[in-house]
């Protein structure tokens, strides 16, 4: 699909409804732009949705907590005089 767009004041481009529907962009969506030579490329930023097991996340966070806890315990012991 090719559509001619007019650049308006302050560089504003209006994407016609037909074009927005074709690329799946809605009001409020983020659009990525890239310049390649004399071409301007636009595409809709669609974040990837990842399904993660909350039990697994909890396990990882607990492991990270234990590692940090040991690190800080070591830091505080380093300054002890033993008296």
- How many whole angstroms separate alpha carbon 35 and alpha carbon 27? 23
Q: Mean pLDDT across the chain, nearest whole number?
A: 88
User: In which band, very low, low, confident or very high, does the pLDDT at 76 lie, cut at 50, 70 and 90?
Assistant: confident
Domain ranges of the chain: 9-44
pLDDT > 70? residue 79: no
Split at pLDDT 50, 70, 90, the class of 46 is confident
Q: How many CB atoms lie within 10 A of CB 20?
A: 15
Q: Is the pTM value of this prediction over 0.85?
A: no
* Residue carrying the six token digits 């399904």: 51
DSSP 47: P
Burial class for 19, CB neighbours closer than 10 Å (0-12, 13-18, 19+): middle
How far apart are the two ends of the chain, measured CA to CA in Å?
80
């Amino acid at each position: 699909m090719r559509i001619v767009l007019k650049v308006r004041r302050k560089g504003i481009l209006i994407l016609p409804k037909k074009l927005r529907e074709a690329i799946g962009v809605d009001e409020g969506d983020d659009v990525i732009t890239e310049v390649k030579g004399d071409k301007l490329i636009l595409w809709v930023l669609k974040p990837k949705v990842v399904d993660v097991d909350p039990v697994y996340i909890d396990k990882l966070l607990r492991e990270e907590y234990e590692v940090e806890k040991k690190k800080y315990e070591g830091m505080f012991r380093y300054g002890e005089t033993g008296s």
